[in-house]
Structure 1
Amino acid sequence: MTNIKKVSELAGVSTATVSRTLKSPEQVTEATRDKVMQAVKQAGYRPNWLASSVKSGKSNSIVVLVPNLTNPFFLRIIGGIEQAAQEKGYSVLLGDTQGDSKRENEYAGMVLSNRADGLIQLDHSFPFAPQDAELADNVPMVSVCERIEGERKYPVIELDNYAASRALAHHLVGYGHQKFAAIVGQISSQIYRERLAGIRSVLQEENLPLPDEMLVGGSYTIEAGIEGVRQLLKQPVRPTAIFCFNDDIAIGAIHEIKKYGLRVPQDISVVGFDNIKVSAFIDPPLTTVDQPAYDMGRRAFEVLSVLMRGESLTRIREILPFQLVERQSSGPVHSS
Structure 2
Amino acid sequence: MPNIREVADHAGVSVATVSRTLQQPQRVSPKTRQRVMEAVAATGYKPNLMAVKFRSGKSHNIVVLVPTVANVFFARVISGMQEAAAEQGYAILLANTMGRSDIEDDYTKMVQTAQADGLIQLRAHNPFDVSMTNANGLLPMVNACEVLDNIPCPTVTLDNRAAARVMTEHLLSLGHTRIALIKGPQGSPLTRERLAGYRDALSEANIQYDESLLFPGDFTLRSGFDAATSILKAAQRPTAVFCENDETAIGAMQRFKQAGLSIPDDISVAGFDDIDFAAYADPPLTTISQPAEEFGRTAVSQLIDVLNGKTRRAPKIIIPFDLVVRRSTGPVPVTQQQHALKEKAE
- Quick one: distance in 2 between partners of 1:327 and 1:38? 46
| Pair 1:249 & 2:248 matched | yes
- Quick one: distance in 2 between partners of 1:44 and 1:215? 62
The corresponding residue for 1:173 is: 172
Specify whether residues 5 and 55 from structure 1 end up closer, same or farther in structure 2 by C-alpha distance, changes over 3 A only.
closer
- Secondary structure of the structure 2 residue equivalent to 1:289: strand
- Which one is further off, 133-142 or 151-160? 133-142
Specify whether residues 32 and 295 from structure 1 end up closer, same or farther in structure 2 by C-alpha distance, changes over 3 A only.
farther
Which whole-Å deviations, capped at 9, do the CAs of 1:104-142 have from their partners, x for residues lacking one? Answer: 2212222122221101001112235xxxx3444454011
**How far 1:47 moved relative to its partner?**
4.7
Is the contact between residue 165 and residue 199 of structure 1 (CA under 8 Å) also seen in structure 2? Answer: yes
Question: Whose Rg is larger?
Answer: 2
- Secondary structure of the structure 2 residue equivalent to 1:86: helix
The corresponding residue for 1:122 is: 122
Specify whether residues 12 and 330 from structure 1 end up closer, same or farther in structure 2 by C-alpha distance, changes over 3 A only.
farther
**How far 1:241 moved relative to its partner?**
1.0
- Secondary structure of the structure 2 residue equivalent to 1:125: coil
Which whole-Å deviations, capped at 9, do the CAs of 1:234-257 have from their partners, x for residues lacking one? Answer: 222111111111111111111111
**How far 1:189 moved relative to its partner?**
2.3
Specify whether residues 215 and 137 from structure 1 end up closer, same or farther in structure 2 by C-alpha distance, changes over 3 A only.
farther
1:305-324 maps to which residues of 2 (within 5 A)? 305-313=304-312, 315-324=314-323
| Pair 1:52 & 2:48 matched | no
Specify whether residues 95 and 40 from structure 1 end up closer, same or farther in structure 2 by C-alpha distance, changes over 3 A only.
same
Which whole-Å deviations, capped at 9, do the CAs of 1:252-307 have from their partners, x for residues lacking one? Answer: 11111111111111111111111111111111111111111111111111111121
The corresponding residue for 1:273 is: 272
Which whole-Å deviations, capped at 9, do the CAs of 1:215-237 have from their partners, x for residues lacking one? Answer: 11241111111111112222221
| Pair 1:65 & 2:65 matched | yes
1:1-336 maps to which residues of 2 (within 5 A)? 16-33=16-33, 47-128=47-128, 133-138=129-134, 139-148=139-148, 152-313=151-312, 315-336=314-335
Which whole-Å deviations, capped at 9, do the CAs of 1:53-86 have from their partners, x for residues lacking one? Answer: 1223322211100101011111111111111211
Is the contact between residue 284 and residue 326 of structure 2 (CA under 8 Å) also seen in structure 1? Answer: yes
**How far 1:172 moved relative to its partner?**
1.1
- Secondary structure of the structure 2 residue equivalent to 1:64: strand
Specify whether residues 110 and 211 from structure 1 end up closer, same or farther in structure 2 by C-alpha distance, changes over 3 A only.
same
- Which one is further off, 19-28 or 287-296? 19-28
Is the contact between residue 176 and residue 331 of structure 2 (CA under 8 Å) also seen in structure 1? Answer: yes
- Quick one: distance in 1 between partners of 2:132 and 2:47? 31
- Which one is further off, 308-317 or 219-228? 308-317
CA RMSD of aligned residues (A): 2.5
- Secondary structure of the structure 2 residue equivalent to 1:119: strand
Structure 1: tracts of 5 or more residues without a match: none
TM-score by length of 2: 0.86
- Secondary structure of the structure 2 residue equivalent to 1:110: helix
**How far 1:38 moved relative to its partner?**
6.4
Paired residues in the alignment total 331
- Which one is further off, 89-98 or 51-60? 51-60
- Quick one: distance in 1 between partners of 2:209 and 2:323? 22
**How far 1:14 moved relative to its partner?**
5.8
**How far 1:89 moved relative to its partner?**
2.0
Which whole-Å deviations, capped at 9, do the CAs of 1:160-199 have from their partners, x for residues lacking one? Answer: 1122112211211111111101111123122222211112
- Quick one: distance in 2 between partners of 1:44 and 1:285? 50
TM-score by length of 1: 0.88
Is the contact between residue 279 and residue 285 of structure 1 (CA under 8 Å) also seen in structure 2? Answer: yes
- Quick one: distance in 2 between partners of 1:43 and 1:326? 53
- Quick one: distance in 2 between partners of 1:263 and 1:10? 66
Is the contact between residue 22 and residue 87 of structure 1 (CA under 8 Å) also seen in structure 2? Answer: no
- Secondary structure of the structure 2 residue equivalent to 1:79: helix
- Quick one: distance in 2 between partners of 1:254 and 1:45? 55
**How far 1:202 moved relative to its partner?**
1.3
- Quick one: distance in 2 between partners of 1:10 and 1:325? 51
Structure 2: tracts of 5 or more residues without a match: 336-346
**How far 1:3 moved relative to its partner?**
5.9
Specify whether residues 229 and 27 from structure 1 end up closer, same or farther in structure 2 by C-alpha distance, changes over 3 A only.
same
- Quick one: distance in 1 between partners of 2:144 and 2:169? 26
Percent identity between matched residues is 46
